[in-house]
Amino acid sequence: MNHLHSQAAEDAAGQAHNGSKRRSRCIALNINGELHEITVQPRKMLIEVIRETVGLTGTKGSCLSGTCGACTVLLSGRPVLSCITLAVECEGKEIRTVEDLAQGGKLNALQEAFLDQGAVQCGFCTPGMLMSATALLERHEKPSLAQIKKGLEGNLCRCTGYNAIVDAVLQVSDQGVLPVMK
């Protein structure tokens, strides 16, 4: 009797596994200008695809609940939290990660400003901060202090106290240099 019960449980588990395989979808994601055709389950989060499937590890996962902003990427130019964004919802949209900022091995103006201002300490929040600041600077070439604070408000930093980060964004906006030259 136990053997039959065990076999029935194994058969049910196998069917559930096969059912989950059938629910998987092949999607095409445009990440940093490169098309990636991947098979994902509908519940797969964008951060998992970016880090584990595509291998771009600059985007950080911290809270995995949408509260810290470390996982921020740009989706069609708007900052989104990749830890609570389903990968299937991103098909047909442009996804940009922190790896897209430096071009030809050269840091962009915003990355340089983060270094100049000491806005990078432990570095864990930095990718999300850079992506939020990039979106802000692409919308507002010379943002006000209030706009900068609003643009970064979803990103938590435990090290810098934010002043250096705000100063870095101000440095770039004072130069009139957009962080992404695409």
Q: Give 11's pLDDT tier (boundaries 50, 70, 90).
A: very low
Write the CB contacts of 39 (distance below 8 Å, at least 6 apart in sequence): 24, 25, 26, 27
What's the pLDDT at 160? 81
- For residues 136 and 130, the answer to whether their CB atoms sit within 8 Å is no
* Residue predicted with more confidence, 9 or 51: 51
Q: Determine the number of helices (DSSP H) and then strands (DSSP E) in the chain.
A: 6, 5
- CATH code for the domain defined by 21-100: 3.10.20.30
The mean pLDDT of 96-109, rounded to a whole number, is 96
- CATH code for the domain defined by 109-175: 1.10.150.120
Does residue 76 register a pLDDT over 80?
Answer: yes
Q: Read off the pLDDT of residues 37-68 as tens digits, 9 standing for 90 and up.
A: 999 999 999 999 999 999 999 999 999 999 99
Q: Which segments of the chain belong to CATH 3.10.20.30? A: 21-100
Q: Give 10's pLDDT tier (boundaries 50, 70, 90).
A: very low
Write the CB contacts of 62 (distance below 8 Å, at least 6 apart in sequence): 68, 70, 71, 124, 125
Determine the Cα–Cα distance for residues 73 and 92; give it in Å rounded to an integer: 15
Which secondary structure element, helix H or strand E, spans residue 7, and what is its range? helix 2-23
Determine the Cα–Cα distance for residues 121 and 68; give it in Å rounded to an integer: 16
What's the pLDDT at 44? 97
Mean pLDDT rounded to a whole number for the chain? 88
Determine the Cα–Cα distance for residues 44 and 84; give it in Å rounded to an integer: 10
Does residue 180 register a pLDDT over 70?
Answer: no
Q: Give 14's pLDDT tier (boundaries 50, 70, 90).
A: very low
What's the pLDDT at 22? 64
Does residue 19 register a pLDDT over 70?
Answer: no
Determine the Cα–Cα distance for residues 70 and 25; give it in Å rounded to an integer: 27
Q: Read off the pLDDT of residues 125-148 as tens digits, 9 standing for 90 and up.
A: 999 999 999 999 999 999 999 999
Instruction: At 48, list the tokens.
Output: 């998992």
Query: Which one-letter amino acid corresponds to residue 158?
Result: R
What's the pLDDT at 175? 77
